[in-house]
Structures are given as structure tokens and as C-alpha cells.
A and B are shown apart, each in its own frame.
Chain A
Amino acid sequence: MTIEVAVQQLINALSLGSLYALLALGLGMVYSVLGMLNFAYGELLTVCGYTMFLLILIGVPFPVAGLVGLGMAIGVSLLIERLVFRPLRGASFISLLFASFAASVIIQNLIKQLISKRPKVIPVPEVFDQMINIGPFQINVLSLIILLVGLVTLAGLVAFLQKTRWGLAIRAAAEDFEVTRLMGAKANRVIALSFALSGFVAGVAGVLWLSRRGAVSPTMGFIPILKAFIAIVIGGLGSLKGAVMGGFLLAFIEVALMVMLPTRAVPFTDAFALMIVVVILYMRPEGLISIKTGS
């Protein structure tokens, strides 16, 4: 493998990694605050995607459609909190699990009924497919955009979580929700904020995901939520730092496998990746970052 290929693959891995890290952070944010997986998380990407699809259809430029899609993801995330999670506050884990699963099915079927069951193509700006030369390296523009947008969003979120009062409350709630309430933070507000942030991250990830895929379908949210779930499990359930690390690690494993596996084995990348995940969890059952010790 030449150094050029290595650098290109490194950029690919970082690019995919920042996407996975975003996805994982969005899913992990709600999990760590509420102790509950939002199974309708993948549908936030779907909603973002279909909003963009409809807007582009009527001639709205791609970046504007992306912004509106992002807004829709935040809105729907808050709506899910309000209509599904808030009325069931204090209900059992199983009830919440099924309720969020129901929300996911309802959104998927609404899209199937109202728009179409079949995948639809989204015209992606042509510049995304071009390659640019940086020194001796040829790099795909989209990979670079995903990497930059992903890292900027991550940096922004980290700054929000580290520097603001609300960010501190979210991190505290991720550790111990009851004690966070004791400190005077309003439960509903902290939870709604975590859903808003989760929706924001899902929206950004949704725009990037679509730019890679170039198509929407009612079940398009499944792969992202799966990847996000794997990433937060590797990282240590409940740890925000772990979610980001898990996202990058998963991407590095996948890209490394795609490069190193013989061509005939490439379709089984996911299977091999999951095997490696199992090995990691065998060695560190609590994930990379255990929330009990915080290290």
C-alpha cells in the first residue's frame, strides 16, 4: 500500500468516524440523560432526508434544504419527547422501549403512505463527487466536507457541553439524573434540551449521510441507528465521551477491514467488524469508558 492510498484511507476513516461519532453522540445524549434508548432516533434522519427531498423537488437549493431538514429533525425530536416520552415519565423501561419503537413505526408508515414506499433519488451537488489534489494526495471532496462539518459540529457540541450552564446540567444529568434535579435543574427542561441536541446532531448527520447515499427511503434510518448503537456500546453505555470515541473506533475498524480484506470478503465487512466489537467487549465489558469511574 502506497503512502498516498494510506493517507486517502485515513481521511476516509476520519470522515466516516466523525459521522459515526455524531450519530452516536445524538443517540447517547438521550440515553445517558434518560437511561432509555430512543428507537425513533433513526427516523430523525429519515425526516431530515424527506424534507430535503421535497424541498429540492420544488427547486430549493441543496444547502437551504439541508438547513430546513436539520430544523425538522430538531422539531420532530422535541415532538417525540413531548408526545411519547413525557407522558410516560416514570413508566417502566419496557413501556418506553415499545413506545419509542411505535413512534419509529408510525413515522416510517406515514412516509410510506404520504410519499412513497420506494427509495427516491436526491440530486446531490456534483462538486461532492469531485476529487481535489492536496499536495500528492487525491481526496474526495465529500469526504473532506463530511470530515470538516463533522469535526466542527463535534467541537461546537463539546464547547456547549463544557462551557455553558445548560451543557453542564446535561453532563451532570448523564451521570446522575436524580442528583441533578436536587441541584435545582428542572427535569423536563434538561430532558427536552437533550432531545433538541439529539435532534440537531441527527439532522447534521442526516444531511451528511444523504450526501453520501444520494437517496432517501422510508427505512433509511435503520443503518445509522444501528451504527450509533454499536458505537455507544463500544464506548461505554451512558458516556458521552465514550460515544464519540466509539464512533471513531468503529469507523476505523470498518475502513481498515475494507482495505485489508480480500475483495471476495469485502461484502462481509460488517460481520468482521462486529466480530472485532465482540472481542473488544469481551476484553472491556463496560466499554472504553466506564461511567462508574469516569475514566
Chain B
Amino acid sequence: MALLSNTAVLLGKELRTEFRSRELLTTTVVFILTIVVLFSFTFDPSVNESRRFGPGLLWLAFLFAASLMLQPCFLREQTNDTLSALRLSVNDPFAIFLAKLAANTLFMLFTQILLLPVFSILYNVPVLAAFPQLVLVMFMGSLGLSVTGTALSAISAQARMRELLLPLLLLPLLTPVLIASTEATASLLVLNPIMPWKWLGFLLGFDVVFLTALWLFGEYLLEE
């Protein structure tokens, strides 16, 4: 119970500080929009091409945006050494991770949902028919990005060359999430969408494995 209540309190803090500063959301939304718009004008794809390449493009954009969003996740706790204050205050350090990954997942999902209509218009791909299923895929994919990214953000925040380290560690580790999310999205953007259970199961497995690893070893990532 203490874990959940601490997580809720910390999630409230994450949301409050972000909506006051709007640092992460603004950067991420602008970054993804730029990529999607630039690709649209560069390739001018047909509907069929968009259905083939669109999901990959979308998830690549999400992946790069995630590395931008996740970088300051623990880094900004170092400005005033607030991470030490959190560690002194919570019984279970996993609450710190849970709150951060919940916040990151929410921010990423918000960005993705905001971007879907723009993608639909620019690439002429209808998304309304399978919108709820798309949101589910995006949630599972975002969770995968966040779980891995939050853990690596904690590691890279304490390292030298931290700006380089996070993308270097993150991109190869997230390849399975990228493939599964792209395949799942692609199967929902065809003329007759089908629910991609196989890929959703894969994403669920990935999320559970990394969440368990974070629960078991997260404490060591926060130590000096």
C-alpha cells in the first residue's frame, strides 16, 4: 500500500512540475511534428506506400522523441539533489521508478494521440476505424519505451557523456519494441484492420520482463 500511495504522490509531482514547465511535452510534440511533416513533404507517399511505411516512420519518430523525453527524467533530479531527498523519504525506491515511468508513458501516449490525426491527414491514412485498438498498441509500445528508458535514464544520469550514453544504450535495447509496435500498428492501418494479438502479447511480455527487472534491481541504479 505504501508503494502505491508513494507512487501516486510522486506521479502527482511529476505531472504538476511538467504542466508548469512544459519542457518535455513541448519539445517532444514539436520534434515529432517536424519529422512527420518533413517526411510527408519529402516523399509525398501514395495511400498504399503510407500504409506500408507509415507505421515504421511513426514509431521511429516516437523512438527518437522518447530518447529526448527520457533524458531529463533523472537528470533534473540532480539539479538540487532532489533524488537524495526522495530516497530519504520513500520506503521502497521502486516507487520513484514507478512514478517516473507512469508519467513518461502518459506523456508519450498524449503526444502520440495528438499526432495521430496529423499523420492521418498528411499521409491520407484513415485511423478512425481502428482508433481504440491503435491507442492500445500505442499504450503498450509507450510502456515498453518508458520502462526501458526510465531505467537507462537513471544509469546515464550518473555517467559522464550522459547525453550520448542514453541513446546509445536505448536504441539497440528497444529494437524488439520498435518491431512489435510497428507490426501491430501496420496491421491496424490496412483496409480491413485485424487485432494484432501476437504482437500485443510480445509487447506485454517485454513490458513484464523489464518491469520485473526494474523492481528487482532498481534500488542499485539509484545508489551512489
Please determine whether chains A and B interact with each other in the same assembly: no
Q: Which residues of A contact B (CB under 8 A)?
A: none
